[in-house]
Amino acid sequence: MTMNISSTQSNALIKLVKTVAFFALPLGLASCAAPVEKSSTPAQSTAVANVANTAPGAFYSGEYRNAFVELGIASPEQVSKKVNETYQQLFYSDSRSESGKAVFFPVGDDMGFIKDIGSNDIRSEGMSYGMMIAVQMDDQEMFNKLWKFSKTYMQHKDGWYQDYFAWHLNATAPFGHKSENPAPDGELYFAMALFFAENRWGAGEGINQYKDEANVILQAMVNKPETDSQVTMFSRDEKQILFVTEKGLGVYTDPSYHVAAFYELLARWADEDNQLWADAAQVSRDYLYNAAHPETGLYPEYAAFDGTPQETSFNDISHKSGYDAFRVIGNIAMDHHWFNADPRQQELADRMIGFYADEYKRKGQNYAVHEMDGRIVSEWGSSGQNAMNGTAAMITNSQEAKEFTERLWKQATPTGKWRYYDGLLHMFSVLQMAGEYKIYGPTDATQ
């Protein structure tokens, strides 16, 4: 979860607390992997005159688009170099000061953490993002270091929170919890990264029996008993993920947590609750269509289960479009690229990118925070927002989308105080547009 505290400095990224039917594929395809045998585009996907919308998703075809090459922005060799250099800077640079380059900090020889440089803390968001990036980069050693730290210092061992992860830690030993509460986006990314890890590398020993660990997390996400103060982080009634589990803060969701592509895979691979995850994928696609502003295409930080913006007591931009919302277009692009199940996604991309393109033409830049109707709230922009907007060309062939992809290509990997959130979103966007953000299914595992 990502929150903003007002600032006149660029990218004030501080957290405070953290449509179309289900592919007509039987849930018995639990062993289905990507790439799988080629299949025609799902029957419910209405074809449009757009290459990005007519091709079957990568889950079916096993083919991942290198948009940088397709759009004539770079050669395959240049793309490969950019992916590797971005990863090396964020995870292996020795420059770890506030003004430095790295977000990964080692702890001994076998652990390490992703640090939010600007707020000097460790978050379940960043740890799970780091694990997802590591498995995409085929870096098992890095993955295991992040996972061991997460298990050792973040995951609760007992009590109501058992198997949830404290979302917020001190960045110095003994790495005490700044909050016991979980952030559901962290659990979702932990589980998905762990499935990919086992499917790519096979199961290891102890905590590196990745798939078993993933299933423990999923069970906790949906099966906790409700108490006077807490509710489980995934609503069976609404089939939606929550923003927080604390009733005192309110029971609602966050549009950027609606990662339909992950739910599709969990429906096939999880040990239990497969139909719930299948339903959640469809609900999320509908939700993201309903939650988008009808004119600007913007999404709020937080929203009720019907998609209307949700005000909170702890974030002064909670009902505006800001930092959490940067991720929504990237999640839609991933879902479109992997599954291509919802033709409405092109409309969503065209609407949002059209708004940002118009702002860019008028102002010479884009701004980080807006009212939902598009009025500018912040005085600064965000390289993380720019990066996520650069993924829209996975959904639409518009000239505006291509221009944002070109800006992503030219954008330097973020450095300095705000490189945590901006840098990780930049890395995800580069992976997506390079065709290197992939599904690793069960038949891909090295047994």
Active site residues: 125, 324
Residues contacting residue 299 through CB under 8 Å, at least 6 positions apart: 255, 256, 288, 291, 292, 293, 321, 325, 328
Burial category of 142 from C-beta neighbours within 10 Å (exposed 0-12, middle 13-18, buried 19 and up): buried
Residue with tokens 């959640």: 280
Of the candidates 125, 114, 131, the one whose C-alpha atom is nearest the C-alpha of residue 200 is: 131
Q: How far is CA 53 from CA 97, 334, 339, 345, 392, in A?
A: 44, 13, 10, 9, 12
Q: How far is CA 216 from CA 25, 48, 78, 92, 221, in A?
A: 25, 41, 40, 31, 9
